[in-house]
Structure 1
Amino acid sequence: MFREEDKKLFRIVVKRIRASLAYRFHLRADQDSFEEIDKNIRDGCEIRGTKLWVLMLAIFIASIGLDVNSTAVIIGAMLISPLMGPIMAVGYGAAINDGLLIRKAMGNLLVSFLIGLFTSTVYFLVSPLSFVQSELLARTTPTIWDVLIALFGGLAGIIASTRKEKTNVIPGVAIATALMPPLCTAGYGLANGSMEMFFGAFYLFFINCVFIAFATLLLISYINPPHKIFVSAERERKVKRYIYLVIMLTIVPSIYLAYGLVTREIFNSRANDFIRHELVFENSVVAKENISADKHEIDITLIGQKVSDEKLSDLSKRLESYRIPKARLVIHQSAYNEFDETSLKKSLLAELLNTSQDIFDTKNKQIHDLQKQIALLQEQQAEQSASLAEQKKIFDELLAQYPQVQKLSFAKAMEHQTGKSDNAIVLLVSISTKKALSKTEQQRISAWLKVRTEVAQVKLLVDSR
């Protein structure tokens, strides 16, 4: 047996461990005063004025995010939503036995719900987008995991709300519990006449509200602020029974839906294992597969050589080894008894050759067009080079006749005149000289340029410096 010294040492170790755990997990160290906690929760309960406008804008933002399947936009809407306040106030009121606060908070929550539902319904009625996005579908089948998210998120939120130092926990809780998206999805269901989507999304919203409020009740009951006393203990027990009844009625459907989700995933996983390992044939391949967990059916389409009835019967029996004995195996086979591998290869090769020929013809045409463009550019470049050489000759010849010429520049232009339909080509010539040219000299130069360039009209501009 243990000696007395060992027992004493063990008690000391246990005491130190308990003290260390209490120090690490103590919630009262940075807790705000009860008066401040009460004031903050009551202030957050009220939804009117600015908060109401922010709520409507957040609903519009979340609806747009769901409509265009943008997760970032949906998160932004959740961050600015003021819906957490009334929900926490319901749990706080239940914890301190304040019936007036509960009624006020539930009234504000109901107003917020109706306004949010109306706003999202109006948006989806006028939205030109009609396709049901994955972000919308994700809010229509709540499960027990959504209950846990709401519960743990609510606990994190109320813990942060009761601290002296406010942190970024509340925005994180708003994102995790996602109050806005299911409310907007319910509006989508109403706008499109889908009651299944409406009730699925409304149930998720209801789960979040109930379990955020329940988490608030648990934490406030733990820190035990001043609260009202019931007239009778029987009435207090009755109120608590109602609270737990609502919680149980909220949990049960989510457990059922979660069970259905898990069983479907298990069936799909086992059916895929069966297809991957058992439906492997030498001259046949699986062309199509359809697994229905709700019908417990595996529908397979094979192409190639026909599989014998004995083999198919054996495959049905092997379902039991994959722990899906009640599943029904349905196999469709092509009408061909033999799998003509040579014909298939020829067909595939011919298709490949046709595709390659089309690609080759397209590329060849593109190359031919590029070659034409290059030839045209080369021709234009040659013409330009010849024109420049000819211009240099004209300048040298003019300089030989008139040594006072310093610069010569000219260009052909199209002359347009009012009242005339015909347009004439004009040679514009600019000459810079050391010494002024007489009018006679200018006329001679113009006449010479007409003959030299074979242009009927020449306009001469002389700059004498």
Structure 2
Amino acid sequence: MIKLLRFFNLHYGEDSRENVLENVVSNISFRGANLWILACAIVIASVGLNVNSTAVIIGAMLISPLMGPIVGAGFALGTYDFDLLKKSGKNLAIATVVSLFVSFLYFLLSPFKEAQSELLARTAPNIYDVLIAFFGGLVGVIAITRKEKGNPIPGVAIATALMPPLCTAGYGLAIGNLSYFSGAIYLYTINCFFICISTFFIVKLLKYPKVKFVDEVREQRITRTISILILIMLVPSFYLAYSLLQEKKFMQNVSSFIQQEFSDKGYTVIYEKTNFNSREKKIELAFLSKRFSKTEVQDINSRLGNYGLTNTALVIRQDSTDLKSDILAEISRQSQHVSEKDITIQNLRSELAGYTFNDKALMDEITALFPGLAPFSIGKQVVYAAKDSTYTENVLVYQAEKAMDADERKRLSDWLKVKLKSTHVRVVRSTE
């Protein structure tokens, strides 16, 4: 058992405490280069959130120096160094204000104000964000105390995600949405606080010496304050996690209800809208051709409880005028979310269309004028004439048993040049 515990001994590979503390203190200050790096990282993260690019957001998190003062605060609490705690708190406040201002300014000037999925993901934190912050913080501080820092630090910067919540808070301020702002700031506070607490625990576990003498009463008061703050942070996150779980269960139940009550019976749903956050939950549906009587709607509503949909009302939209406007509004909303994949596919289709022939009239003319040519095919190909010279050539390939004579091939080639309005035309017989 003792041998097994040695594998978990954090003192193995530990750097000298003087080096660790020197490294921690040197990363606290936000002046000069650090402040410029932070501002640039905030702009990069804001752009990533604005265009919904995960790769750009990760890049911003990797270059962010925000973890310095948070880890410094954790070391200060663990060693009761109140001067270091004040310095860390002051620098964290400066970094937070600068970050909020830069992100606010970016989103205020940006022409794209629509909330993307990467932005929305930072507006409703829950208990899982607490776990990520705490265990990410543990990894970070353990890595800091090692002689070989290794690869964990970049991973911690990504996992704890300090930059995106700040940028989302700036976005909330820029568009005047206090709900987005408060949710993002709460997530940022969770990350900061639990990184700090995880640092405090590791410092205590490694038994770093106290910088100042603290009597037992004051030490208990500090521990009690930390415990109260942990509770204050945890309660809302548990509530939000519970709300998220209930919403997911509700959506699963709605899906099961629609499938069994309508889709399995051959009714085509053309409009679906759910409202989970109202006092009475609501499901709105419309159908392609089926119309329900008032009695049928009441009967279906009475069966909602069988699917776990309590305190829920089903509304079937059958007014064609209102329904049409709602469907058009939904189509318009969805059309604004055309993904990069769809755009790429459309571009490829357009490019491919330039290399194919779908002109049936042209094919019929060739068959009438040159009846012995079939079967044949026409297409375009890129010809590389030289290293820096290319052109597109129209090629007709035919598979007749007897090859065309030179005059007939020239007559076909000249005719195709006129029809296709191209000087690059070639007629080739396939021997396969």
Q: TM-score, normalised by structure 1?
A: 0.67
Q: Kindly indicate whether the alpha-carbon contact (under 8 Å) linking 2:134 and 2:195 is maintained by their aligned counterparts in 1.
A: yes
Aligned with residue 320 of structure 1, among 293, 305, 320: 305
SS of the residue corresponding to residue 7 of structure 2 reads helix
Q: What corresponds to 2:30 in structure 1?
A: 47
Query: Partners of 1:136 and 1:375 in 2: how far apart?
Result: 64
> Could you list the per-position Cα deviations for residues 201-249 of structure 1 after superposition, in whole angstroms to 9, with x for gaps in the alignment?
1111111100100110011111111113544322222222222222222
Matched, 1:31 2:67: no
Q: Please point out which of 187, 191, 197 is paired with 2:170.
A: 187
Question: Looking at both structures, which has the greater relative contact order when contacts are Cα pairs under 8 Å and sequence separation is at least 6?
Answer: 2
> Which residue matches 1:301?
286
- Supply the AA of the counterpart residue of 1:247: I
Shift in Å at residue 381 of structure 1? 9.1
- Please say if residues 150 and 208 of structure 1, whose CA atoms lie closer than 8 Å, have aligned partners that are also in contact: yes
Distance 1:214 1:277, change over 3 A: same
Relative to 1, partners in 2 of residues 1:258 and 1:377: Cα closer, same or farther, differing over 3 Å?
A: same
Q: Deviations over 1:386-427 (max 9, x none)?
A: xxxxxxxxxxxxxxxxxxxxxxxxxxxxxxxxxxxxxxxxxx
Give the superposition deviation at 1:118: 1.4
Q: Bigger CA drift: 225-234 or 177-186?
A: 225-234
1:205 corresponds to which letter in structure 2?
Y
Maintained 8 Å contact 2:73/2:85: yes
Q: Which residue among 236, 239, 257 is the counterpart of 1:256?
A: 239
**Other-structure match for 1:56:** 39
1:331 equivalent among 308, 312, 316: 316
- Go from structure 1 to structure 2 and tell me whether the alpha carbon gap of 1:170 and 1:379 turns closer, same or farther (over 3 Å shift): closer
Residues 276-296 of structure 1 deviation map (CA, whole Å, 9 limit, x = unaligned): 112247564333222222232
Which of 110, 113, 130 is the equivalent residue of 1:130? Answer: 113
Structure 2 counterpart of 1:299, one-letter code: E
Change (3 A) 1:366 1:290: farther
Task: Return the index of the structure with the highest Cα Rg.
Answer: 1
Is 1:230–1:236's contact at 8 Å kept on the other side of the alignment?
Answer: no
Number of residues of Structure 1 aligned to a counterpart in Structure 2? 339
The 3 A distance-change label for structure 1 pair 232 and 365 is same
In structure 2, the CA distance between the partners of 1:283 and 1:89, relative to structure 1 (3 Å rule), is closer
Q: Check 1:313–1:118 CA distance in 2 against 1; reply closer, same or farther (3 A cut).
A: closer
* Distance (Å, rounded) in 1 between the aligned partners of 2:107 and 2:293: 54
User: Which residue in the other structure is 1:418 paired with?
Assistant: none
Closer, same or farther: CA 320–118 of 1 in aligned 2, 3 Å: same
2:110 matches 1:74? no
The answer to whether the 8 A contact 1:284-1:306 is kept is no
Provide the residue aligned with 1:359 in structure 2: none
Q: Distance in 2 between matches of 1:127 and 1:306?
A: 46
Whether the 8 Å contact between 1:304 and 1:334 is mirrored in structure 2 is: no
Out of 138, 143, 148, the position equivalent to 1:160 is: 143
Please give the alpha-carbon distance, in whole angstroms, between the structure 1 residues aligned to 2:411 and 2:116: 54
Query: 197, 211, 217: which is aligned to 1:214?
Result: 197
Q: In the alignment, residue 230 of structure 2 is paired with which amino acid?
A: I
1:354-365 alignment, distance < 5 Å? 363-364=359-360
User: Hey, what does 2:355 align to over in structure 1?
Assistant: none
SS of the residue aligned with 1:25? Answer: coil
What is the DSSP-based 3-state SS (H/G/I as helix, E as strand, rest coil) of the residue aligned with 1:304?
coil
How many percent of aligned residue pairs carry the same amino acid? 44
1:252 shift after superposition: 1.7
- Correspondence for 1:397: none
Alpha-carbon RMSD across the aligned residues, in angstroms, is 2.8
AA in 1 matched with 2:313: R
Alignment map for 1:354-433 (pairs within 5 Å): 363-364=359-360, 378=414
What CA distance in whole angstroms lies between the structure 1 residues aligned with 2:112 and 2:55? 19
Q: 1:287 to 1:63 in 2, by over 3 A?
A: closer
The unaligned stretches of length 5 or more in structure 1 are: 1-17, 336-361, 383-465
Pairing 1:271–2:243 present: no
Are positions 1:150 and 2:143 aligned together? no
Q: Structure 1's 381 and 227: CA in aligned 2 closer, same or farther, altered over 3 A? A: closer
Distance 1:230 1:237, change over 3 A: farther
2:68 maps to what in 1?
85
Q: CA deviation at 1:379?
A: 5.8
Indicate conservation of the 8 Å contact 1:58/1:78, yes or no: yes
Aligned equivalents of 1:21 and 1:380: distance in 2?
83
Contact 2:272 2:286 in 1 (8 A): yes
Q: Which moved more, 1:364-373 or 1:131-140?
A: 364-373
Cα distance in 1 for partners of 2:288, 2:26 equals 69
Deviation at 1:91, TM superposition (A): 0.8
